[in-house]
Amino acid sequence: MAKRILITDDALFMRVTLKNILTQNGYEICGEAANGKESLDKYKELKPDLVTMDITMPEMDGITALKEIKAFDPNAKVIMCTAMGQKNMVIEAVQAGAKDFIVKPFEPDRVIQAVGKQLAS
Amino acid sequence: MNVKIINPFVEASMAVVQTVINVKPKLGKLSTRSEVFTSQSINVMIGLTGDAQGVILFSLGDEVAKHITSTMLGQEIKEFDQLALSAIAELGNMISGQSLMILSKSGAKCDITPPTVIQGKDIRASTLDVPSVVIPLTIEDIGLYEITVSIK
């Protein structure tokens, strides 16, 4: 059975791009969220195998959403995928439990490698 | 507004545009404006907060936007729809993010807002007393892409 991924990004372009990369590599996109709050709600509803999380979003940013998702499910696998790649941001995300941190613009292989590593069974 | 703040934006703009559309843009002469004026039809506005406060404006014409988004989406864009607009906004977001990464090396702690897209012709916007620096990038066979940085 295909592994299920929840994509979180306020940019439609990003959601479409990630969906294409991931589905072409055998993953199922079980949901899309346009902000952190939506991501948290959908995580609780859909229980995905993995979440991709942008940082700069309206309503609730990705770092806050990451912390909320981890509080709900300490085993949640969240990979940050963002334009905000400053060192302090990476440190904060990793300390909050993010499994990986991808900086945009990225090569599709970077995403496949990061996701594959987390979902290898 | 000093060179320490502008240079990261220049560097990031050049690098991200090249990565995203596989064409190295040509950097034109930077200029200053005391009032932001743009006659470009598509504008992406991103707020800058923290140690540096202000606004970054990414401006381009319809044809340039179509070319860029066609490359970003891997398909020819004839009409500027939500998806194409989102791609242009995301380009601005990526340039801003990378600018902040470079800026943070000098110790500056900044954050950006989600983008706002403003479309129209002969838009006139003013940052009042805050000076702006315009970074013009010329993309070969495509056209002009302007990044205006307005920081207090």
pLDDT of residue B40: 85
CATH top-level class of A4-119: alpha beta
User: For chain A, which residues make up each domain, given as ranges?
Assistant: 4-119
Q: What is the pLDDT of residue B35?
A: 66
**Residue closest to A38 by CA, chosen among A21, A51, A24:** A51
Q: Which residues of B touch A88 (CB under 8 A)?
A: 104, 109
Residue B121 or residue B21, greater confidence: B21
Position B1 scores a pLDDT of 63
Q: Dump the DSSP string for A22-47.
A: HHHTT-EEEEEESSHHHHHHHHHHH-
Inter-chain CB proximity A58 and B114 less than 8 Å: yes
Are the C-beta atoms of A46 and A31 separated by less than 8 Å? yes
The answer to whether A58 contacts B87, with C-beta atoms less than 8 Å apart, is no
Q: Any idea which residue has 């129209």 for tokens?
A: B120
The secondary structure of residue B50, as a DSSP letter, is E
Q: Above 70 in pLDDT, residue A38?
A: yes
A84 chain-B contacts, CB cut-off 8 A? 97, 100-101, 111-112
Chain B residues touching residue A82 (CB < 8 angstroms):
97
Q: What is the mean pLDDT of residues B135-146?
A: 95
What is d(CA A92, CA A95) in angstroms, rounded to the nearest whole number? 5
Residue B108 contacts A, CB cutoff 8 Å: no
Q: What is the pLDDT of residue A17?
A: 97
- Reported as a pLDDT band with limits 50, 70 and 90, residue B2 is confident
Structural tokens at position B50 = 């923290």
Which of B45, B49, B94, B102 should be substituted to probe chain A, the one whose Cβ sees the most A Cβ atoms within 10 Å?
B94
Q: How far from A108 is each of A81, B46, B64, B74, CA to CA, in Å?
A: 12, 26, 25, 13
Report ipTM (2 d.p.): 0.94
Indicate the domain borders of chain B. Answer: 3-151
CA-nearest residue to B112 within chain A is A56
Under DSSP, is residue B88 helix (H, G, I), strand (E, B) or coil?
Answer: helix
Query: Residue A25's closest CA among A47, A46, A50, A8?
Result: A50
- Tens digit of pLDDT for each residue in B55-81? 999 999 999 999 999 999 999 998 889
What confidence score (pLDDT) does residue A102 get?
98
CB contact under 8 A, B97 and A57: no
Does the pLDDT value for residue A99 go beyond 80? yes
Please report which confidence band the pLDDT of residue A65 belongs to, taking 50, 70 and 90 as the band edges: very high
| Residue B36, pLDDT above cutoff 60 | no
- Cβ contact, residue pair A12, B109, below 8 Å: no
Contact A85 B112 (CB under 8 A): no
Show the DSSP H helices in chain A as ranges.
Answer: 12-24, 36-46, 62-72, 87-95, 108-119
Interface check B75 vs A, CB under 8 A: no
**pLDDT band at B95, cuts 50/70/90?**
very high
Residues of B with CB below 8 A from A19's CB? none
Q: What is the mean pLDDT of residues B104-132?
A: 87
Flag if A88 and B100 touch (Cβ within 8 Å): no
SS3 of A51, please? strand
From 3.40.1550.10, 3.30.565.10, 3.40.50.300, 3.40.190.10, which CATH number describes the B3-151 domain?
Answer: 3.40.1550.10
Average pLDDT over residues B37-64: 91
CB contact under 8 A, B97 and A16: no
